[in-house]
Amino acid sequence: MLKISKETIIILVVTLVIVLLWGGFEILHSRTSPDIPQATESETKELDPKLDSELIEQLQ
């Protein structure tokens, strides 16, 4: 039979309590944190696929 010392049991119980508290706080945080804001019109505006060759020449 496997004999587990008293210190090992204490460490295991403390570790279990910490993991359960950590998980509980993570669930609480995910439920109370604000949602991601909706994108504004300027962020979703379609980009012009044409390259401005004059501007590229000026940059060189």
Please state the rounded mean pLDDT for residues 6-14.
97
Please state the rounded mean pLDDT for residues 19-45.
85
The average confidence (pLDDT) of the chain is 87
CA dist., res. 2 & res. 12, Å (int): 16
Residue 40 pLDDT level (bands cut at 50, 70, 90): confident
Question: What's 1-60 look like in SS3?
Answer: CCCCCHHHHHHHHHHHHHHHHHHHHHHHHHHHCCCCCCCCHHHHCCCCCCCCHHHHHHHC
pTM above threshold 0.75: no
- Domain-wise residue ranges, the chain: 6-58
pLDDT in tens, 48-58: 788 888 888 88
